[in-house]
Amino acid sequence: MREMTKGANVSLTALGEDAGAVVVSLGWTSASGAGDADVSVLLLDAHGKVRSDDDFYFYNHPAAEDGSVQLLGKTPTDSGDEDRIGLDLTAVPADIARIVVAASQYGDARFGDLDDLRMTVSDRSGEPLVGFSIDDASVESAFVFGELYRRGEEWKFRAVGQGYETGLAGLATDFGISIDEGGEDGEDGADSPATPDPAAEPARGTQAPAAGPVPAAGPVPAGVPVAAGVPVAAGPGTTTPGAAPAPSGAAAAPGGPAQGAPSRAAASVAGIPAQSRGRDGSAAGGARTTRKKVTLPRVARKSLAENDSWQPARLFPVPTLKSDREREVRATSVLLAVMTQVPELGRRLTAAFGAPAGRTQTFTEVSLPHGDAPRRPDGVIRIERAGKLWTALVETKTNGNPLRAEQVQAYMDIATRRGYEAVITLSNDVALDGAPVVDVKIDGRRKHKVDLWHLSWAEVAHQAQLLIRHEGVGNPAHAWLLQELLEYLQHENSGCHGFQNMGPSWVPVRKGIEDETLNPGDERAVDVVESWERLIRQVCLRLGGELGQKALPVQRARRGSDPRERRLAAAETLCADGRLSAELRVDGTSGIIAVTADLRTGKVRTSMEVPAPEGSSALVSVKRLVRMLAEAPADLHVESLVEGGIGARGTLERLRPEPGNLLPRDGAPPAGFRLTLIKGMGNTRGNTESGFIRSVDDAVARFHQGVVGRLGPLDVRAGRRG
């Protein structure tokens, strides 16, 4: 990879043979774990201006219908977060001369508060081509990291590093985007639930689905990039959260923005904090210019069954499955079929694997020659675009069955010989740091490279839930298919339940902690820490799917640090204190949820810190907090925080009649409060009702629903460890 300095440029073609499609990664770290930014892309003509507002891609307009631009979303790395953008340079319109890649922050946040600002450009296979670091950020609230531009028949990259103190609005205006700071007239449309019957009429307030295929795009697995949804068929109207904006429809003058067209960058980009805007980026009360999309209600309609013994008919029945082989065959076929018929899901699950947008077909149990006997991968995904084929082999496991390295290696060898692009493993395991869950050997002498990706069943369920509960799909039939897929995955007999076993080291490590016989440096403690990270990643997936917001683990290590070093340090803490700790950040809140599993006491603690309101007396602050938590669990522990320590404490049940008991006895004003729920920890290593995995998942869900969800979005600050 070539390192660039500010202002330098280089030809992408000279750096890699497969530079026709690239993945741009923007990364940063935050000492507090709460810092973040939003990425954006602008397509500019020869005059340095957008042709229309449709050439501006950001959180409210995440993808181009021609597949040239796709915001793939955030993914956790070993040292922070990374936002990734897919650019298909072969699909960029001929009158586009430059592609500008930028990022912006909201509110009073500044890029000087972030560390390790970096942009990386990789080819389709994920091989880094060029990197550029920004080390002079200070008061800027928006930054142009770099740009890709045409020179004759090739594309070149230039490291820019230009900052703006005026935020995304100032940056966008410079390139000809129409910004409506005050928003448009009108009211937000309420979400209109769709009937799960595909033959039924569209739900009231929705548009009839358009005929023909529906393009879509979006994000993916644990440890691999996650993409955002693409606008799909329907007429104009009000939107559900997460829908992408409709095209402006007004022709743009060359070199300038469309005149009279609804602005995609309306009030949502005018410095509004993320927690104050909807998933579509619009400000509360502002009109939305996005297309209507179909979601399903959280609560099912009243059943017509006479009693609970009547089971509803399902498109994908599972009770008859008896063997793991049957489960693998059924699960693969169900998923691949739905991916083909519901392009919104199919594009989400393939975009970051390097797959192009195009006509998709999927196959199962395909026989491929390999040595003396043919091999039969569980599935094959094939996508056609502009006469070229992209092919991936799929290897599936269900229940707790592990992927076998020799089997995956055989598929990698087959894919290499046949010129396929990828091998995708699919199991209940959760990938970490973007790394595959099995080790295979790559023959460096072969010119053709094959990518190995991993997808968790928990990630599939997460994406399906996001689409049908929050972001919406193109028509009621698609929503119904996704609902049936989700019902299948969640059935106890499907074997597709996500990470569900803490591994063979769990029992001896827990016993060693109880007996105080676990020694520092025990490799089994490192195994438990790694399983803990997988569990936290899955907790984030489930919480994010339920809320319709991104939930990610917080990593406080510096970018480029060794993940094993981090796990060794956590293992030392586990041996010494018997504790496993993690932190989660959820979009829509500024605070961080701290999770601690104490193996000595058998308790799971979930907590968050809340600042005392400014300009109020200590007693008024306490009373205001208690009122905010009127519906919170009575066993919530509340501690007042003072300089240099902890003040008074008590449960919410005791504080409700006497809020003044939370005031520090020395009269010092509290700087804030720590809210904590304590729950008994499961004993077994699995995902049963009494299992450790279930207890941690339930503890985080209860804390967010009962406590965090009752706090105003601006009332929370980054929590501290411990």
- How long, in residues, is the chain? 722
Task: Look at residue 86 and give its three-state secondary structure.
Answer: strand
pLDDT at 174 over 70: yes
Could you read off the pLDDT of 212-271 as tens digits, one per residue? 333 333 333 333 333 333 333 333 333 333 333 333 333 333 333 333 333 434 333 333
pLDDT at 128 over 60: yes
pLDDT at 532 over 90: yes
pLDDT at 503 over 90: no
195: confidence class by pLDDT, cuts 50, 70, 90? very low
Could you read off the pLDDT of 270-281 as tens digits, one per residue? 333 333 333 344
- How far apart CA 288 and CA 620 sit, in angstroms, is 39
- Amino acid identity at 527: D
What pLDDT does 509 receive?
93
Residue 252 pairs in a beta bridge with 258
pLDDT at 182 over 90: no
Residue position matching structure tokens 């609970």: 308
- How far apart CA 715 and CA 721 sit, in angstroms, is 19
Mean pLDDT of 45-52: 92
Contact criterion met (CB below 8 Å) for 707 and 605: no
Could you read off the pLDDT of 594-622 as tens digits, one per residue? 999 999 999 999 999 888 777 678 888 88
What pLDDT does 685 receive?
60
pLDDT at 173 over 90: no
pLDDT at 464 over 50: yes
Distance of CA 366 to the CA centre of its chain: 32
CB half-sphere exposure, 475, CA atoms < 13 A? 19
CA torsion angle 327 331 334 336 (round to 10): -140
Mean pLDDT of 107-115: 83
Could you read off the pLDDT of 198-214 as tens digits, one per residue? 333 333 333 333 333 33
- How far apart CA 74 and CA 534 sit, in angstroms, is 17
Look up residue 97 and give its two tokens. 């001369």
Mean pLDDT of 674-703: 82
In sign, the C-alpha dihedral spanning 692, 695, 697, 703 is negative
Percent of the chain with pLDDT over 90: 36
Look up residue 286 and give its two tokens. 């502002």
What pLDDT does 446 receive?
64
Mean pLDDT of 316-329: 85
Mean pLDDT of 37-50: 92
392: confidence class by pLDDT, cuts 50, 70, 90? very high
Mean pLDDT of 569-574: 92
690: confidence class by pLDDT, cuts 50, 70, 90? low
What pLDDT does 26 receive?
92
The DSSP bridge pattern shows strands 451-456 and 422-427 to be parallel
Residue scoring higher pLDDT (194 or 548): 548
- Amino acid identity at 280: D
- How far apart CA 400 and CA 503 sit, in angstroms, is 10
What pLDDT does 43 receive?
96
Mean pLDDT of 428-453: 79
- How far apart CA 286 and CA 186 sit, in angstroms, is 7
The DSSP bridge pattern shows strands 98-104 and 115-123 to be unpaired
pLDDT at 686 over 80: no
